[in-house]
Amino acid sequence: MSILEVKDLTVTFPGGVQAVRGVSYEVERGEVLGIVGESGSGKSVTSLAIMGLLQQNSVVSGSVKLHGQELIGMKEDELVKVRGKSISMIFQDPLSAFTPVYTIGDQIAEAVRIHQKVNKDKAAKRAVELLDLVGIPHPDVRAKAFPHEFSGGMRQRAMIAMAIANDPDLLICDEPTTALDVTIQAQVLEVLKTAQQETGAGIVMITHDLGVIAGMADRVLVMYAGKPVEQGSVDDIYYRPRMPYTMGLLASIPRIDGEEGALVPIEGNPPSPASLPPGCPFAPRCPMKVDMCDEQEPPLVPSGAGRHVACIRAQEIEHKGLTGADVFPVPVIPPSDVVRVPRAERPTVLELDSMIRHYPLMKGAVFKRRVGTVHAVDGISFDIAEGETLALVGESGCGKTTTLQQIMQLAPPQGGRVVVLGKDSSTMDAATRKALRKDLQIVFQDPMAALDPRMPVGDIIAEPLRAHGRKDVEARVAELLELVGLAPEYAERYPQQFSGGQRQRIGIARALALEPKLIVLDEPVSALDVSIQAGVINLLEELKNTLGLSYLFVAHDLAVVRHLADRVAVMYLGKIAEIGTVQSVYDHPAHPYTQALLSAIPLPDPELERNRKRILLEGDLPSPADPPSGCRFRTRCPKFARLSADEQRRCVDEEPSIARLASAVDHGAACHYAEEVEVITASDDQEEK
């Protein structure tokens, strides 16, 4: 019998907005149900409704049965016996999910004592056991730490420990790894699997990441605009999607094992729940739309073998065996002229030579004082040739943002050199610096924060033009808007009136205003939903080719990098671990860190995920204020652990520098024992090609 049975669940917020419009599903013991959807699809609201944790003024209807017992409308006295006992929940952002003023141990012990009759000491001991179970080192000491003293990954582990404290039958995980880095995500997913084995619970896994779902879920529910649009076993959904939205979603994700070239974008934006289209909610964006689609919303109908689809053309899709790439138009991106010239003969637009940037480390908000030095960037070198994209990748805290800021400031670095378009930043005067700003522009990560909310879009784009005394501003603004695929009339609107993807396009237009030669892209797509992301990536690629731009692309998403970049530099703790062409680094990573990083990335492919062997890294990133001696990666290096004591000594004493690998022209790694390994198995469709 299923543990949880949800039927026709709807949630209406005050003001009459329906955030969830009829969700039904079941979860069985030991089963993992994945719920995917983009932001605003209602996936998180659904789970809060099940727990009865929505704001008191929202109206929930339908039925939620736990072991046959109805939860909707249950009295609080009864409900508190279920919450945290039979159903537990893991939230997305574990920093805000823990009360900041109590220790982690106390909060877990509290969860124990709510449902079990044990004394304080016993509960505290149990909390330590639980922390141990989820792999927190020195659990007895760490239990006394406050939430802000834990790293993101550790907090999420503690959250899992708290969720399984009372042996729940069902775990609801709401984007449990979204806020985490990939290598930490891999660790946490592993812990979740352990937790499931330990408790035998069913899991509802809510996420926007199709890779995570592919590796975890048995069955998948796809949500769009507050409603499930497709449901079925994970293999069915991934290999035989029958609803154009699912098809588009799967086709639009960039893959680390994928080809370069244009991605499949889904045009338009998800509808706002306040103003849904009359028929199929996906109709405005659907390339297969026919007139009938506008008449009435297609219901979710069973179509054999536990599958449900909400599309009137599902049958046809099945018969013809259509995929996302068949249905959605793929833009053709013109090739670049610049790259025909061999790289060595092209001018260098940016050169970094052993650049260093250290910060004072401050502590305390009230009692501020310096307690050390952060070695944010500790001697990195790379160069970018004209018409080339170099990606700087690494997890948070690796120093990539600092590098970027140092370049943008055009100020003398603390050590080493920064040379932009042949001009050394440490010797240039103010006039040169200002002139150089024309050629060096930036696109920021958060499209909302990058645009001044109080300025109309036209003024935002015109700002650099005016600052550099350009005439003919209005015509240029219109031209730029068109260039990034927006209507010139938009110049009069304010940033708040645009969706994330559109805002990012505005940011790109502003960066292009002065016809720069080099654009720094700071995580330009990481704040966007998958279906929007593809369009922006395509735009960037196209602009680069048609305008002959060079990009420095800073990112943590290695799949996006594979699509956009020509060369890639992997950073770890303020140093470059590996650098080379995208093909060599992705297909034959030689540094143990790159290998772990690539292997940690989940693939949106259930079959591959099931058979994949991950290289899991131990622990967290060491503090950049106190980096390890010798090789900075040695504290977590899986290879180091396998070396003999003699070999290990070299890693401890001697800092490896980047050595070119024999097998490739443009590929180097900073490891004494570099050795190329394949960690991504080529996917089936790629082999067929």
Partner 1 sequence: MGKYLLRRLAINVILVVIASSLAYMLAATTMNPRAAYQGRQPPVPEAVIDKTLDAYNLNDKTPVLQRYATWATGVVTGDFGKTWNGASVNDELGRRMFVSLRLLILGTLLGFAIGVALGAYSAVKQYKFGDRLIGVGSFVLMAIPVFVLATLLAIATYNLNRGLGFTLIEYTGEYNPKLSGFDQFLNRLNHLILPTISLSIGGSGAAFYSRIQRNMMLDVLGQDFVRTAMAKGLRRRTALMKHALRTALIPSATYFAFSVGTVFTGAIFTEKIYNWHGMGAWLVDSINANDVNSVAAVTAFTAVCILFASLLSDLLVAALDPRVRVS
Partner 2 sequence: MRSKVVLRRLFRNNQARYGFVALVALVLVAYVGPYIGKYDWTEKDFMAFLSAPSADHWWGTTSIGQDLYAVTLRGMQKSILIGLMVALISTGLAAIVGAFAGYFGGWVDRVLMWGVELLLVLPSFLLIAIISPRLKSGNWLWFVVLLAAFSWMITSRVVRSMTMSLREREYVQAALYMGIPRWKIIFRHIVPNMSSLLIIDATLNVSSAIIGEAALSFFGFGIQPPDVSLGTLIATGSDNATGYPWLFVFPAGLLVLLVLSVNLIGDGLRDALDPGSNS
Task: Work out which of 282, 328, 444, 498 binds ligand SF4, going by CB under 6 A.
Answer: 282
We find the least distance from the C-beta atom of residue 207 to ligand SF4, in angstroms, to be: 22
* Cβ nearer to partner 2, comparing 275 with 611: 275
Task: Work out which of 32, 136, 288, 617 binds ligand SF4, going by CB under 6 A.
Answer: 288
* Cβ nearer to ligand SF4, comparing 401 with 594: 594
Is 639 among the residues that bind ligand SF4 (CB under 6 A)? yes
**Best CA proximity match to 281, nearest among 324, 210, 224, 214:** 224
d(CA 223, CA 88): 22
String of contacts with ligand SF4 for each residue 149-188, x by CB under 6 A: ----------------------------------------
444 contacts which partner out of partner 1, partner 2, ligand SF4, none, CB within 5 to 8 A by kind?
partner 2
* Cβ nearer to ligand SF4, comparing 326 with 459: 326
**Best CA proximity match to 200, nearest among 27, 24, 26:** 27
Would you say 571 and 357 are in contact if contact means Cβ atoms under 8 Å apart? no
SS3 for 459-511 is HHHHHHHHHCCCCCHHHHHHHHHHHCCCCHHHHHCCHHHCCHHHHHHHHHHHH
- Return the number of other C-beta atoms located less than 10 Å from residue 515's C-beta: 11
Return the structure tokens found at 478: 């219109």
- Return the number of other C-beta atoms located less than 10 Å from residue 75's C-beta: 7
Task: Work out which of 651, 658, 661, 679 binds ligand SF4, going by CB under 6 A.
Answer: 651
Is 26 among the residues that bind partner 1 (CB under 8 A)? no
Please report, as residue ranges, which positions from 151 to 210 form the binding site for partner 1 (by CB under 8 A): 162, 166
359 contacts which partner out of partner 1, partner 2, ligand SF4, none, CB within 5 to 8 A by kind?
none
We find the least distance from the C-beta atom of residue 514 to partner 1, in angstroms, to be: 42
How many helices and strands in the chain, by DSSP H and E? 26, 24
* Number of residues engaging ligand SF4 in binding (CB under 6 A): 25
100 contacts which partner out of partner 1, partner 2, ligand SF4, none, CB within 5 to 8 A by kind?
partner 1
Which amino acid makes up residue 55?
Answer: Q
Q: Could you tell me how far CA 312 lies from the centroid of its own chain? A: 33
* Cβ nearer to partner 1, comparing 148 with 689: 148
Is 312 among the residues that bind ligand SF4 (CB under 6 A)? yes
Task: Work out which of 49, 253, 560, 631 binds ligand SF4, going by CB under 6 A.
Answer: 631
Return the structure tokens found at 212: 């995570």
Helix (H, G, I), strand (E, B) or coil at 125: helix
Q: How far is CA 202 from CA 156, 171, 197, 494, in A?
A: 19, 6, 10, 46
- Tokens 């009865």 belong to residue: 52
Task: Work out which of 8, 29, 39, 53 binds partner 1, going by CB under 8 A.
Answer: 53
Is 361 among the residues that bind partner 1 (CB under 8 A)? no
464 contacts which partner out of partner 2, ligand SF4, partner 1, none, CB within 5 to 8 A by kind?
partner 2
* Cβ nearer to partner 2, comparing 195 with 465: 465
CB under 8 Å to 530, separation ≥6 — which residues?
38, 208, 210, 249, 252, 253
Return the beta strands (E) in 141-260 as ranges: 170-174, 202-207, 219-224, 227-233
Task: Work out which of 637, 661, 679, 680 binds ligand SF4, going by CB under 6 A.
Answer: 637
313 contacts which partner out of partner 1, partner 2, ligand SF4, none, CB within 5 to 8 A by kind?
ligand SF4
Q: Interface with partner 2 by CB under 8 A: which residues?
A: 408, 433-434, 437-438, 440-442, 444-446, 449-454, 463-464, 467-468, 494, 510
**Best CA proximity match to 522, nearest among 425, 391, 621, 421:** 391
* Cβ nearer to partner 2, comparing 452 with 474: 452
Q: Which stretch binds partner 1 (CB under 8 A): 236-244, 362-370, 466-474, 552-560?
A: 362-370
408 contacts which partner out of partner 1, partner 2, ligand SF4, none, CB within 5 to 8 A by kind?
partner 2
Dihedral Cα 453, 455, 457, 459, nearest 10 deg: -150
Is 223 among the residues that bind ligand SF4 (CB under 6 A)? no
We find the least distance from the C-beta atom of residue 425 to partner 2, in angstroms, to be: 13
**Best CA proximity match to 593, nearest among 379, 383, 398, 355:** 398
* Cβ nearer to partner 2, comparing 555 with 651: 555
d(CA 495, CA 503): 7
Q: Could you tell me how far CA 647 lies from the centroid of its own chain? A: 36
Greatest alpha-carbon pair distance for the chain in Å reads: 77
* Cβ nearer to partner 2, comparing 227 with 400: 400
Is 313 among the residues that bind ligand SF4 (CB under 6 A)? yes
d(CA 553, CA 295): 45
Is 130 among the residues that bind partner 1 (CB under 8 A)? no
d(CA 275, CA 243): 22
We find the least distance from the C-beta atom of residue 5 to partner 2, in angstroms, to be: 33
Q: Which stretch binds ligand SF4 (CB under 6 A): 166-174, 360-368, 480-488, 666-674?
A: 666-674
312 contacts which partner out of partner 2, ligand SF4, partner 1, none, CB within 5 to 8 A by kind?
ligand SF4
- Tokens 């708290």 belong to residue: 162
Give rounded-to-5 percent helix, strand, coil for the chain.
Answer: 35, 20, 40
**Best CA proximity match to 602, nearest among 246, 157, 207:** 207
We find the least distance from the C-beta atom of residue 89 to partner 1, in angstroms, to be: 5
Exposed / middle / buried, residue 450 (Cβ in 10 Å: 0-12, 13-18, 19+): buried
Is 328 among the residues that bind ligand SF4 (CB under 6 A)? no
d(CA 245, CA 432): 50
d(CA 131, CA 125): 10
Return the structure tokens found at 205: 């896994």
Task: Work out which of 592, 602, 604, 668 binds ligand SF4, going by CB under 6 A.
Answer: 592
Is 575 among the residues that bind ligand SF4 (CB under 6 A)? no
Task: Work out which of 365, 431, 645, 662 binds partner 1, going by CB under 8 A.
Answer: 365
CB under 8 Å to 410, separation ≥6 — which residues?
418, 420, 425, 428, 433, 436, 437, 440
111 contacts which partner out of ligand SF4, partner 2, partner 1, none, CB within 5 to 8 A by kind?
partner 1
Task: Work out which of 640, 658, 668, 676 binds ligand SF4, going by CB under 6 A.
Answer: 640
Return the structure tokens found at 202: 């069913």
Q: Which stretch binds partner 1 (CB under 8 A): 97-105, 177-185, 201-209, 516-524?
A: 97-105
Phi, psi of 97 (to 5 degrees): -85, -10
* Number of residues engaging partner 1 in binding (CB under 8 A): 36
We find the least distance from the C-beta atom of residue 464 to partner 2, in angstroms, to be: 4
d(CA 477, CA 460): 9
CB under 8 Å to 253, separation ≥6 — which residues?
210, 211, 530, 534, 559, 604
We find the least distance from the C-beta atom of residue 268 to partner 1, in angstroms, to be: 31
Is 117 among the residues that bind partner 1 (CB under 8 A)? no
- Interface contacts to partner 1, rule CB under 8 A: 48, 51, 53, 76, 80-85, 88-89, 91, 93, 96-102, 110-111, 114-115, 146, 148-149, 162, 166, 363-367, 369
- Interface contacts to ligand SF4, rule CB under 6 A: 243-244, 280, 282-283, 286, 288-289, 293, 298, 311-313, 592, 631, 633-634, 637, 639-640, 651, 656, 671-673
